[in-house]
Amino acid sequence: MSLPATKSDVVVAGPFKPRSAAIVPLAAQPRRFDPRGLAIKVAQSVLPPLVVIAILLGLWQAAFSGPDSSLPPPSEVWAQSRDLIVEPFFVHGSQDIGLGWRVLVSLERVAYGFGLAAIVGVLIGALIGQSVWAMRGLDPIFQVLRTVPPLAWLPLSLAAFLDSRPSAIFVIFITSIWPVIINTAVGIRNIPQDYRNVALVLRLNHVEYFFKIMVPAAAPYIFSGLKIGVGLSWLAIVAAEMLTGGVGIGFFIWDAWNSSRLTDIIVALVYIGLVGFMLDKLVSFLGALVTRGTSSN
């Protein structure tokens, strides 16, 4: 293979006879679409979990098939709750709706609570990160508050808001805001002096500095905080809804327990797990998108 060589105008003076240096650019490897390779890749990532799930279902079926077992086996879950599994978006009445709808209702609350936590958390984190003393004073407090379980906030929240809907949202907010604040503050602290100097030389004002330097520079940290936060808010919504009622997925579990529909609970657990997984992936994806340049450097 012959490569094009560009002559550079730099002359090397060496111990041997001078020669003009040639810079040889590497030819980019042409990317071809390879269906077989792609199929193998998909199989490698999809097959193992499928096999494991099949084995676990088999074990489960074997362990709980007896007449006096306390929990239903998979076959019974399928028999009794098939409508919930195959049809997420049915509507049979105001209280009898598919789990997809319930998840959406819960997600809406999460969107409010977590969205608020993200905005407020980044702003507070940015303020704290700029001052050593604020960091020293507030960090221990945040570290303590961070460990308070979501449900422990609920009574106070109900007392303050006197209504279940804002209470649930507040619980999500207060549960998920701490990692956002802490991570943002750490990210701001870690902005290299070089970037600050660039901002100083250009005389960026506070708003410009916030949007053009601080947020992008701290974005990897902010997104790791958001990722922890979104997981916590999904934990919180289910717990909060169990107590506050409504049509969310959390209340559905509580309701199913009260009417002894164990198979419905099992289906709901799978929904919750899958949605939580997708939320996590979504935030990771957004993070990867936003921090393309920053983290690879």
Which residues sit at the interface with other proteins, rule CB under 8 A?
8-13, 21, 192, 194-195, 197-198, 200-204, 208, 212-213, 216-217, 219, 291-294, 296-297
Q: Where are the alpha helices (DSSP H) in the chain?
A: 35-63, 74-86, 99-129, 132-146, 150-161, 164-189, 193-202, 206-209, 215-244, 249-258, 262-290, 292-295
CA distance 150 to 248: 17
CA distance 176 to 226: 8
Nearer to other proteins, 95 or 205 (CB): 205
Segment 21-24 long-range contacts (CB within 8 Å, at least 24 positions apart): none
Nearer to other proteins, 45 or 297 (CB): 297
For residues 250, 255, 261, 266, the Cα torsion angle rounded to the nearest 10 degrees is: 0
Nearer to other proteins, 152 or 204 (CB): 204
What is the biggest distance separating any 2 CA atoms in the chain, rounded to whole angstroms?
Answer: 93
Q: How far is the CB of 8 from other proteins (least distance, A)?
A: 7
Q: What letter does residue 42 receive in the DSSP assignment?
A: H
Q: How far is the CB of 201 from other proteins (least distance, A)?
A: 5
Enumerate residues 6+ apart whose C-beta is below 8 A from 116: 169, 173
C-beta separation of 124 from 145 below 8 A: no
Q: How far is the CB of 11 from other proteins (least distance, A)?
A: 7
Q: How far is the CB of 191 from other proteins (least distance, A)?
A: 11
Nearer to other proteins, 21 or 38 (CB): 21
Count of all residues that appear for the chain in the document: 297
Q: How far is the CB of 172 from other proteins (least distance, A)?
A: 30
CA distance 61 to 78: 12
Nearer to other proteins, 36 or 203 (CB): 203
Q: How far is the CB of 217 from other proteins (least distance, A)?
A: 8
Task: Count CB atoms within 10 A of the CB of residue 234.
Answer: 26
Q: How far is the CB of 251 from other proteins (least distance, A)?
A: 42
Nearer to other proteins, 91 or 289 (CB): 289
CA distance 280 to 86: 24
Nearer to other proteins, 12 or 148 (CB): 12
